[in-house]
Amino acid sequence: MALNPSVFRTRSLTAAVFVIVMLTGLLWNPLSFFILFSVIHFGCWTEYRKIIVLIDKEYAKVSALHRYSVPVAGWCMMLYCLRADFTVSGFPLFEVGKWGCLLFLLLMVAGETIQLRSMSIRNILHSAFGLVYISMPLAMLVWLRAIYYHGPIFFSDRMPVLIIIGSIWINDTMAYIVGSLIGRTRLSAISPKKTWEGTIGGILLAVGVMWLLGRSLQNEPAVGLFPPSTWISVAAIASIVGTFGDLFESKLKRMAGVKDSGQILPGHGGFLDRFDSLLVATPFAWAYLVWIAGLGS
């Protein structure tokens, strides 16, 4: 796959703006972080619903109550993961998330029953999968951001999410460049532009760069909480599993007969196109950080 200078310029400009917006939301404060991922959450849900409707026309028949209750229930999952440290006038937001999630899931079922006189299991499953595919990973990122919010070391609360997202960004960028320059062997028929050379190069470079960053910054207090082995492991998990996330979203688009999930990012597509790797990689990276690395214990 030859490197197209015009496409590369468009992608680079869009990526630069995207990175500025993302870093502002990621680094500024907990509110900017939550707002950023709330926008991503509802953007992904909007595109997911459009894709599923193209795959299964029956999903277009869901009631308005069902249609809007499901993403709000997913957003309440994110609220729940803010933990007890985040309050409004002394009231913990995670309580709003807990009861709001239950309420809107009940409203979804009620809307389905009222409109169709009986529940469509297929439609319920489509929505349930959206909660697992989109809402749960983003809720996990909110949890990772909140776990060290009142920790003794400044900036440590940003590090887990930054390591995951940084690994995916480096992998995606390096896979595109390496694949464009030397890629010859197609990785999968699902995504014809992906090559084995680009995929392997992206993974190796992501692991290498993150290892160098983790090692060189170990004297920084916030970074010292996460040894180089954690950086390497998360980078490997995010890069490898993230590639499957990319392929999975490509499969959904192929089934729906669309090239991109949306058009919000010129040269990159929509929300799902941009965050497909993150959505699938996050649960695995979260499991490693929490169950093996002992994050938050």
pLDDT digits (tens, 9 = 90+) for 271-288: 999 999 999 999 999 999
Instruction: Specify if 226 maps to a domain.
Output: yes
**Does residue 297 lie in a domain region?**
no
Q: How far apart are CA 130 and CA 48, in angstroms?
A: 7
Q: Which two tokens stand for residue 153?
A: 């070391």
* Block residue for tokens 């940084």: 166
Domain that residue 237 falls in: 5-292
205 lies in a domain?
A: yes
Q: How far apart are CA 30 and CA 37, in angstroms?
A: 11
**pLDDT tier for residue 126 given thresholds of 50, 70 and 90:** very high
Q: How far apart are CA 179 and CA 176, in angstroms?
A: 5
Q: Could you tell me if residue 237 is inside a domain?
A: yes
Largest CA distance in the chain: 63
DSSP structural state of residue 122: H
How many domains in the chain?
1
Stretch among 92-106, 141-155, 209-223, 236-250 having the lowest mean pLDDT:
141-155
Q: Residues 221-245: what's their mean pLDDT?
A: 91
Measure the CA–CA gap between 116 and 51, rounded to whole angstroms: 22
C-alpha torsion sign, points 251, 252, 258, 264: negative
Is 202's pLDDT higher than 80?
A: yes
Mean pLDDT is lowest, of 13-17, 36-40, 47-51, 256-260, for 13-17
The Cα–Cα gap between 169 and 187 comes to 19
Domain assignment present for residue 54? The answer is yes
> What single letter denotes the amino acid at residue 280?
V
- Can you name the residues that pair with 195 across neighbouring β-strands? 186
Q: According to the model, what pLDDT value does residue 268 have? A: 61
